[in-house]
Amino acid sequence: MTEPAAVAPLAGIKVVDLSKILAGPYVTMSLADLGADVVKVEHPEGGDPTRSWGPPFNGPDATYYLAANRNKRSVTLDLKSPEGQEAVHRMLASADVVVENFRPGSTLARTFNYQELSERYPRLVLLHISAFGDHGPLRDEPGYDMVAQASAGLMSLTGEPDGPPVKAGYAMGDLGAALFGIIGVTSALVERARTGRGQYVTTSLYESQLALHINWATGYFATGQRPGRLGSGHPSLVPYQAYPAADGHFVIAVGNDGLFRRLCTALGHEEWADDPRFATNRDRVTHRTALNAKLESVLVDQPVAHWCDLLKSEGVPVTPIRTLDEVYDCPQTEALGMVQKVDHPDVGALRQVAFPVTFRGLRPSVRTAPPTLGQHSHDVLAELGYNDAEIGRLLGGRLADLCGPATPGTPSRRTGQRPK
């Protein structure tokens, strides 16, 4: 039986990853998932800061780092040194894409500015990710995910109405910028195929959050009213939130009047569907508090499983609120093949959440584990034309650590293979 063809729509694309933390590395990991050859350039002392963002750790690195760096090769270079910069330029000479999140105005931003790079490498696509964008009074401000969530409004919309602002459980500032960055890079590659020219692509955590406001923004533009927090509620649909049952909470999502009538029938309160306060979604949004009080008075009498089984049988969208252990034990997760295993040189089998898009019914595979710091330095530099003596000088005393003989029974830092 023949093996299925590898899913690699970006095969042949070379990416130089000069970014760190989450937004940039998530972009480059996604490009690597899609088949691109990604070289992650890290500082010799500590590498990407997320390697130490723990606990939890798994092997030498924090799980935060392990989440966003698979399918890449790691090389350690000091980008502020002439030798490190020369090595990066050798990479860029044959690269298609470079991703960086240098702080605007910094030495590295000036050293690797697109205007100069485009003159030397006219086919190069450069993605720059910043906190607040390339223009405006905040352009030079640094920013982490929480700064973006706070400054761009997400925290003002998250949390209970009578509680404090709350950040989203995911790093939506970083991940929003990453997703738009992926769109920007792939679009620029399509344009380059047509024109032969590279492109300067920029996005920011701040801009991406504004783009994700969607209905919150258009609602504000129409009314001029500042929206407030609704907990798990929806600004435009009721009932559409989490409700308490006898043993926990679960979600009901009613998107039209027909579904509301089904809900009322299932709960034994057909009269609610004919109540002028609740008959249409417009009415239900206006009388949100009154309707939710009625629902809660009924739903609290039975456990989550009871309501989920009953309402699902009536075609009402409903689900328990699963914890992550339940999510990863869920048959649906298994059926989709969203969790894959890959061998890590220090910890052995490592589980990773795979790329969430399939091509011709096939999902891109997790090919290699997130690299240990400098794991591929020797190999990458040799590919760039450096001989062993030059590599030794470039890496200094780290050469022996990266490619010297491993202790019997332990993996080599360079190859990740255990000695026979």
Catalytic residues: 174
C-alpha to C-alpha distance for 230 and 240, rounded to whole angstroms: 11
- How many other CB atoms are there within 10 angstroms of residue 73's CB atom? 20
Closest by Cα among 33, 31, 25 to 51: 25
Closest by Cα among 61, 22, 20, 17 to 40: 17
Closest by Cα among 393, 358, 405 to 81: 393
* 252 beta partners: 241, 318
CA angle 286, 257, 234 (to 5 degrees): 50
* 244 beta partners: 249
- The per-residue DSSP string of 286-318 comes to HTHHHHHHHHHHHHTTS-HHHHHHHHHHTT--E
CA 319 to chain centre: 24
Closest by Cα among 290, 292, 280, 278 to 244: 292
CA angle 134, 140, 145 (to 5 degrees): 85
Closest by Cα among 408, 247, 18 to 27: 18
Torsion over CA: 216, 221, 223, 229 (sign): positive
Residue keyed to tokens 């006219």 = 122
Helix (H) or strand (E) holding 341: strand 339-344
